[in-house]
Amino acid sequence: MKKYIFLLVVVPFFASAQNPTDTLSKSKKDSAIVLNAVNVNYKKPMLKRKADRLEFNIDQTPLQNLNGWDILKNTPSVVVKNDELSVRGNTQILVTINDKKVMMSQEQLKQLLENTEGSSIQSVEVITNPPAKYEAQGGAVINIKMKQNKLAGYKGRLSGRYHQSIYAKGRLGLMQSFNTDKWQISGDYNFVSGKYVRKNFDVVTFDDSQTRWESDMVRKTEALVQHAYNFASQYNIDSLQNIQFGFDGSFNPSSVGNYLVPTNIYNTVSNQLQSNYLTSNYRKQRYGGFNAYFAYDKKFGASNLTWSNNFSSNHHRENQEVGTYFRFINEPERYNRFASNSLQQIKLYASQLDYRFSKDKLTFESGAKYSFVSNQNDLSFFDGNQQNLVLDPNRSNLFKYREQIFAAYLSANYQWDKWEAKMGLRSETTLIRTISNQPFVQNKTNRTNLFPTVYLMYNVTKDQQLGFSYGKRIARPNYDFLNPSKSYYNFYSYFQGDANLKATIIHNLSLTYTLKDWNFEVYHSHRVNPSMEISVQNPATFETVYNYTNIEKSNNWGANFSKGVSVSKNWKLNLYAMGEYNDDYFIGVDQNLYKNKNFFYYGNISSQIILDKAKTWDLNLSYVYNSKSIQGSFNITSSQNTNIVLNKKLLAKQFEIGLVVNDIFKTDNSIVSARYANQNQYFTDYRDTQYFMINLKYNFGNQKVKDAKARAKTAEQGRM
């Protein structure tokens, strides 16, 4: 959504990165180029350019004192605006953890990553053109790589976090790992408690009636008991074969919000208050997810065979009751009350077989996959008066979605002289069945798509490389966005999905140039039938309807560069800058075609400083600027963020204390507006980003033992 401007600050800052990544496995033949390897006597973030991805390594850096979500904000090529991830202007991003898809909504994903310790993260991969082995889902993939088991022994970590923004939050966590010659086992559990706030000030102007509606909304939500857990294991049958098993999940038994939202209605000619109403919204949510995987891996000669299976389930229950007191001009005072109960249940199963042959400078890969998804959303709507609520069948709905995907791929990688080439082709046949009873919609879709990928890299010299890549992708809509039910926020606004929503086809093209620790990229993305949320005012009913729907098309052309500078032995400075031209074409409420265009630029300057000779004090400073941006009919103002991370190691580095101060000047907020035809609205958006956080960690056991690697999840999970 928003983007930041690049302001030069005289203080040293640490580099940030951007780009979502999804991976199932990594090719040994990928040529890695270290972009900012500088001779400093401690490990620092490094950007590695490979034929098909960019890797941002944060191991043993002050950034590990951040949580997973804030680390994403500091990843080159990844833009986080209004809690929405984007890469190269594309918001349809697939996020994976150790190549496993996370089966959650965007809000749940944010909460999960906020509760993930940065010290558990090895690196973040941004794959803008994923190879044929990867599912074609998503415009780009962000893969968060957790640490892996390597050495025998036992280790553990007890950690705690205090987070103070408008309200306090806290986390307690325990991690343990145990390795033998045959077994690699690790697990962790986190308990989280807190209060979450989002502030909006909405202004909607109806030109025909000469009225301006202003709503001041503070959404405070209490989630005092949250659980997150993870278990991963690997058993080595012998030196050539192993099995992997694991599971992870999260559970929030009660997330409660009680919002009072006053709305004042002004006459736009006299600017006098003429009417008002007060909305009371009590909302309670209960949700959780569980993911499990099993995989068998066999090596024979130059070949490798892997069979992997994934199962996921997700449930989300939401009950809300909305009461509205009306005091309208020339009308008697009145009261309206309604309620809704919704239950969404999603289940997914996927099985994949991969074959790999690697010899000398040739690598060949092929495989097949089957996945099945079942999604059911049951909405009950109740209407009435202050005493009684009665089921309203006309606004209740049962929505069912079934999806099957049959996929196969071929890929080859070859190196010769100074060249490396990688080509692949993936085929996906999708069978979709949807049915909704109110409104009644029934769809059957059968389609087969081909997704080619091409990579070419030329090593001009040892420290100089040229690269080219092209990839075709598909972004299938989240299951929620296909549901045509009306989900009411208040008496005058609701969200409605589109049962006829089309998948987005994305064409990505990029050119890269690397010279030592300088990295340059020029790219273009063309999106056919992109989908996004559009709000529409209805002057006849004074309603604002939020639709997730397709727009005509979207393009962006951009360039970026990164550079690492060693100012001194203990001071590392990093720069990242990006500029993009974006245009979105959409059909307005008047059925005319509109073009919304914008030049967006992003800058990040950051630095790491070691403050003492013993290397027990680390300081990280960073500044990020996003310029104004667009999303369909919306225009979004600029924003910026300045933060400090300070870390101290004690007791032979077994005990760590960390301090994080984020959004120091409270500038990470934005104004979102739409003005065309008879549409005239805007809202301010602040997501409680100014905070300080204290981290405490106690490490015990052999800390050289690393966590067991979790297995990859399926692509469909990211849409749930």
Residues 423-460: pLDDT tens digits?
999 999 999 999 999 889 998 989 999 999 999 999 99
Q: Give the residue among 130, 6, 71 at the shortest CA–CA distance from 562.
A: 6
Q: What are the sequence ranges of the domains in the chain?
A: 33-719
Model confidence band, residue 719 (pLDDT cutoffs 50, 70, 90):
low
Going by the DSSP 8-state scheme, the letter that residue 479 receives in this structure is: G
**Count of C-beta atoms within a 10 Å radius of residue 504:** 24
Distances 87 to 131, 519, 523, 577 between C-alpha atoms, Å: 17, 17, 11, 13
Residues 586-597: pLDDT tens digits?
888 888 889 999
Flag the least confident range among 139-148, 490-499, 698-707: 698-707
Residue entry with tokens 């690397």: 514
Average model confidence (pLDDT) for the chain? Answer: 85
The pLDDT of residue 148 is 63
pTM: 0.82
Mean pLDDT of 684-699: 92
Is-contact 611 42, C-beta < 8 A?
Answer: no
When the candidates are 2.60.40.1180, 3.30.930.10, 2.40.170.20, 3.90.76.10, the CATH number that belongs to 33-719 is 2.40.170.20
State how far the Cα of 599 lies from the Cα of 286, in Å rounded to an integer: 41
Q: Which two tokens stand for residue 202?
A: 């909405």
Residues 6-55: pLDDT tens digits?
332 333 333 333 333 333 333 333 333 333 333 333 444 467 777 677 78
The pLDDT of residue 104 is 65
State how far the Cα of 97 lies from the Cα of 116, in Å rounded to an integer: 11
The pLDDT of residue 476 is 86
List strands edge to edge, sheet with 54-57.
33-34, 46-49, 54-57, 121-127, 140-146, 93-97, 100-101
Say how many CA atoms lie within 13 Å of 522 toward its Cβ. Answer: 3
State how far the Cα of 146 lies from the Cα of 164, in Å rounded to an integer: 27
Residues 241-258: pLDDT tens digits?
999 999 988 999 999 999
Residues 552-584: pLDDT tens digits?
889 999 999 888 788 888 888 888 899 999 999
Residues 141-183: pLDDT tens digits?
888 888 764 556 888 989 999 999 999 999 999 999 898 889 9
State how far the Cα of 249 lies from the Cα of 102, in Å rounded to an integer: 9
More confident residue, 111 or 578: 578
The pLDDT of residue 240 is 93
Say how many CA atoms lie within 13 Å of 587 toward its Cβ. Answer: 9
Mean pLDDT of 216-221: 94
CA–centroid distance for 210 within its chain: 40
Mean pLDDT of 61-65: 73
Residues 519-534: pLDDT tens digits?
899 999 999 998 888 8
Residues 626/628/629/633 CA torsion (nearest 10 deg)? 150
The pLDDT of residue 65 is 72
CA angle centred on 606, ends 605 and 612, rounded to 5°: 155
Going by the DSSP 8-state scheme, the letter that residue 4 receives in this structure is: B
Is the pLDDT at 105 greater than 70? The verdict is: no
Is the pLDDT at 709 greater than 60? The verdict is: no
State how far the Cα of 662 lies from the Cα of 10, in Å rounded to an integer: 18
Task: Determine what percent of the chain falls in helix, strand and coil, rounding each to the nearest 5.
Answer: 5, 70, 30
Mean pLDDT of 58-62: 75
CA angle centred on 508, ends 503 and 511, rounded to 5°: 175
State how far the Cα of 676 lies from the Cα of 285, in Å rounded to an integer: 36
Max Cα-Cα span within the chain: 86
Q: Which two tokens stand for residue 262?
A: 């006053």
**Count of C-beta atoms within a 10 Å radius of residue 270:** 9
Share of the chain above pLDDT 90, in %: 56
Going by the DSSP 8-state scheme, the letter that residue 328 receives in this structure is: -
Distances 472 to 55, 196, 405 between C-alpha atoms, Å: 21, 39, 17
State how far the Cα of 657 lies from the Cα of 470, in Å rounded to an integer: 45
Residue entry with tokens 């990242």: 576
Is the pLDDT at 404 greater than 80? The verdict is: yes
Going by the DSSP 8-state scheme, the letter that residue 123 receives in this structure is: E
Model confidence band, residue 3 (pLDDT cutoffs 50, 70, 90):
very low
